[in-house]
Structure 1
Amino acid sequence: MPALPRPAHGPGSRYTARAATTRTRPPTPGRGMADIVALTRRLTPRDRWLAALLHEHRVLTAPQITRLAYDSTRSTQRRLRTLHQYTVLDSFRPLVQTGSAPEHYTLGPAGAAVLAAIAGLDPATIGWRPTSTGRIAYSPTLGHDLGVNDLLTHLAARARHTLGTGLALWISEHSAARRWGDIVRPDAYAHWQDTTQARGEYRLPFFLEYDTGSQTLARVEAKLAGYAAFTTATGSSPALLVHTRTASRDLALRRRLAAAARELNLAVATSSADFTTNTPWGAWWAPLEPAARRTTLTGLAAHWPHLTPAAGLDPTDADTPLTLPVPPLPPPNGPES
């Protein structure tokens, strides 16, 4: 398979990092960019949702897409292969030291054109470029971005198996920066909801800081001042969830952040991949409070009843259909295709 070209400048241009390869497309006359209208008729609502989701979150692996939208790996592979051939999606597979990485999917040229047409926009204005996939593949933040998406796709997919629980809202890092970047720049913003409890409905609005251990404890602590400033400036008070790689890093963060969180009156909880694995909604989150026990996301919502969603979520005249939040799960699609 041919090597994916490294960008000449910008993210990834100075890094060798992990090389990537891209699958070739068979020659399919008549499926090029010239006939977007005909392509649109071939796409299901779930296909268009997936294109919008990749525009929002940049990159998802095949297992993450299966988790959100399909009932089997075979169904996922069959549809993604078709969408790749239509150039709705691009894909690459990073080279890893052992084993093989799953296929990674990004928005392709036809997908960008379809989204722009649906939104009534010029394709050049939606931020997609022919070099987009290469920049993502060689980005030094690829592992971090995939970690964020893995955590949140697990939370979103919970609703497919337990009705009444899951993510009601999921906003990416770049969308959060567009809304609140002058004050805070979280790795994601989301609403966890649980309507299965006998005592009522619980909702946990939260900012996510996904810590890979690459930043010093002091730098992580410095971010808390921004979240306190956000609460003061907007009058809204989401929780701050800090997720890290290991239990030892989690303990170090708790020791470093506890005093600052208390002084700034922030609702902060921490956990790590050693606890959450593939059930991050479970009893793995510990508030930064003395003698706090680990609890579920629903337990955090009950523990902090004063929390309110972040200000700035309502649509404005500056929004377009492509800057509004994308539903975390696809629309009903009938039989899988």
Structure 2
Amino acid sequence: MSALPRPASGPGSRYTARAATTRHRPGRHTDVATLARRLTDRDMWLARMLHEHQVLTTNQVTRLAYTSLRSAQRRLRTLHQYGVLDSFRPLTQSGSAPEHYTLGPAGAALLAAYAGLDLAALGWRPTHTGRIAYSPSLGHDLGVNELLTHLAAHSHADPSTGLDLWLSERSCARRWGDIVRPDAYAHWRDAHLSLPFFLEYDTGSQALARVEAKLAGYAAFAAATSTRPALLLYTRTQSRDQALRRRLDKAVRELDLDVATSSADFTTTDPWGPWWAPLQPGARRTTLRGLAIHWPDLGAASGLDPTDADTVLTLPVSALPLARGDGA
């Protein structure tokens, strides 16, 4: 796609979709059958991940699927040349940002064929990358993916831990949107313990009252489904974390919810660590494993079983590829 004009101010002013202006791509796309023979299982996994989670940075893809940044960059460039991926790079005040990857035209055609759907039914449009690059929610969406890719990739260091399930905001809305609309839903595993949780990623842009109003939906979900996942509230700063805790304490107790909070000031690159504080008086920060022990009655959300309405592309994607390495 050609570069989009960047507004002088407002949403999208910091981003430019620049893939076709700075990277060579053949004038016509390879047909799907030929392309499929060039792709590995890991490539197909990445296409499905980008369909599910919309945008991943080079660092996030490397974290999940490669053993080195250089090998990831090499393969991502090849997939971009094939048209499987599109990309853009945010403009920053200083330094440079990593490439941000989205599903490209050939990748969308391939997934549509894989699922037996028309391209329109997949929801992909030629403006797909531009819409993501200019979206005012881009920073929020990247923050959600940053947190959860760290959790998923921890399985490389410790196979007894990791994410057994990771659903995007879109998948959550498709399953439970009439009651709750979390930013993600996931199952954290630590040996024999499991922590099913909804995630609310708070950037600080919403009024505290609006965040509080969401709690009623989670209480209604628990009552309507007789299932009880935890609710994790993740903020960008410790001061916002403390403000939320003061505001939500009474409502959480009255609604009988299992809520824990943390912030980027604590977690950095190890969000599984002792950074999460249950929202109750006198609670100390603990690990995700500690939360699972603290709340022994937690259960997975209802509505996760496949139905006749599902296609191969609406079923959950594994948080990690089957194979991780340096080769193509």
Give me the TM-score of the superposition, normalised by structure 1: 0.93
Amino acid at match of 1:28: P
Post-superposition CA distance 1:206-235 (Å, at most 9, x none): 000000000111111110000000000111
Partner of 2:61: 65
Q: 1:266 aligns with which of 257, 263, 286?
A: 257
Partner of 1:3: 3
Instruction: Describe the shift of the 1:192–1:285 C-alpha distance in structure 2 as closer, same or farther (beyond 3 A).
Output: same
1:104 aligns with 2:100: yes
- State the 1:189 CA deviation: 0.3
Instruction: Describe the shift of the 1:2–1:189 C-alpha distance in structure 2 as closer, same or farther (beyond 3 A).
Output: same
Tell me how many residue pairs correspond in the alignment: 325
1:285 aligns with 2:281: no
Distance 1:315 1:244 in 2: 32
Post-superposition CA distance 1:35-54 (Å, at most 9, x none): 11010000000000000000
Identical-residue share of aligned pairs (%): 71
Amino acid at match of 2:106: A
Amino acid at match of 1:3: A
Conserved 8 A contact 2:6-2:16: no
Conserved 8 A contact 1:242-1:268: yes
Conserved 8 A contact 1:44-1:333: no
Amino acid at match of 1:205: P
1:209 aligns with 2:206: no
Post-superposition CA distance 1:121-148 (Å, at most 9, x none): 1111111110010000000000000000
1:167 aligns with 2:167: no
Distance 1:107 1:286 in 2: 37
Instruction: Describe the shift of the 1:222–1:19 C-alpha distance in structure 2 as closer, same or farther (beyond 3 A).
Output: same
Name stretches of at least 5 consecutive residues in structure 1 with no aligned partner: 8-12, 196-200
Amino acid at match of 1:292: A
- State the 1:14 CA deviation: 7.5
Distance 1:15 1:61 in 2: 20
Post-superposition CA distance 1:239-262 (Å, at most 9, x none): 000000111110111111111001
- State the 1:4 CA deviation: 2.7
Q: Secondary structure at the match of 2:19?
A: coil
Distance 1:40 1:16 in 2: 34
Q: Secondary structure at the match of 1:323?
A: coil
Instruction: Describe the shift of the 1:104–1:46 C-alpha distance in structure 2 as closer, same or farther (beyond 3 A).
Output: same
- State the 1:116 CA deviation: 1.0
When structure 1 is superposed on structure 2, of 302-311 and 96-105 the one drifting more is 96-105
Give me the TM-score of the superposition, normalised by structure 2: 0.96
Amino acid at match of 1:222: A
Q: Secondary structure at the match of 1:248?
A: helix
Written as runs of structure 1 = structure 2, the 5 A alignment for 1:96-175 is 96-175=92-171
Written as runs of structure 1 = structure 2, the 5 A alignment for 1:218-297 is 218-297=209-288
